[in-house]
């Protein structure tokens, strides 16, 4: 019995699985900027979670994103917060939802924001913002056009959007190359 209890405790102490937000803080030794509640926990009916900050500004989800905005503002000087990348290991993890709401809440906070659909395999911003142009990021990265010609203004005064453009056969090479770095520097100087 004692051996079984010892093994169980040993396995628990050696387990480095990430199951909760506290596990992230404990194992990675990083600060957590916030957590977004599930829509099931929401008090109001949210039809489109990707635009919850705009459509339901008093919701729990909008408040959580405002908390993350505040955490970001205090995490580093403004000069070091020019580019933020939202990513995840799997599809359907909510990258588009987080990116859209975070961009909206930062724009509402008074900063000029360019939301870029950098998913060159399965772009998602077109479904949320139908005004996005057919040409976009992939065109810019191959030198076909300028940033000003592809950016779309939104109903939020400080939020602009750049779509993914046509899907290239080699997205990793486009995103990892020197043209992408030059584009990000240009965008960061304006937004």
pLDDT tens digits, 42-83: 667 788 888 999 988 988 899 999 999 998 888 888 777 789
pTM above 0.85, yes or no: no
pLDDT score for 93: 84
Contacts of 13 (CB under 8 A, 6+ apart): none
Contacts of 190 (CB under 8 A, 6+ apart): 112, 114, 147
Neighbour count for residue 79 (Cβ, 10 Å): 7
CA distances for 30 relative to 33, 87, 103, 112, 114, angstroms: 9, 17, 23, 27, 27
Cβ–Cβ under 8 Å, residues 159 and 115:
yes
Give the pLDDT confidence of 98-152 residue by residue, as tens digits.
999 999 999 999 999 999 999 999 999 999 999 999 999 999 999 998 999 999 9
Q: Show the tokens assigned to 12.
A: 């628990």
User: Position of tokens 């599809």?
Assistant: 91
pLDDT score for 20: 77
Q: In whole angstroms, what separates CA 45 from the centre of its chain?
A: 23
Task: Look at residue 71 and give its three-state secondary structure.
Answer: helix
Cβ–Cβ under 8 Å, residues 66 and 144:
no
Place 21 in a pLDDT band, splitting at 50, 70 and 90: confident
């Amino acid at each position: 019995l004692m051996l079984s209890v010892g093994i169980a405790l040993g396995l628990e102490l050696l387990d480095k699985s990430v199951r909760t937000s506290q596990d992230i803080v404990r194992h990675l030794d990083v600060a957590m900027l916030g957590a977004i509640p599930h829509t099931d926990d929401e008090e109001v009916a949210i039809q489109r979670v990707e635009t919850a900050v705009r459509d339901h500004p008093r919701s729990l989800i909008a408040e959580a994103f405002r908390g993350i905005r505040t955490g970001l503002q205090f995490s580093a000087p403004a000069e070091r917060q020019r580019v933020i990348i939202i990513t995840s290991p799997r599809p359907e993890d909510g990258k588009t939802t987080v990116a859209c709401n975070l961009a909206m809440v930062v724009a509402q906070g008074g900063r000029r924001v360019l939301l870029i659909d950098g998913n060159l395999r399965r772009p998602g911003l077109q479904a949320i913002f139908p005004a996005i142009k057919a040409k976009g990021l992939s065109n810019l990265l191959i030198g076909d056009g300028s940033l000003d010609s592809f950016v779309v203004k939104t109903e939020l005064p400080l939020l602009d959007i750049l779509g993914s453009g046509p899907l290239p056969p080699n997205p990793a090479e486009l995103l990892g190359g020197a043209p992408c770095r030059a584009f990000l520097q240009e965008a960061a100087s304006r937004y």
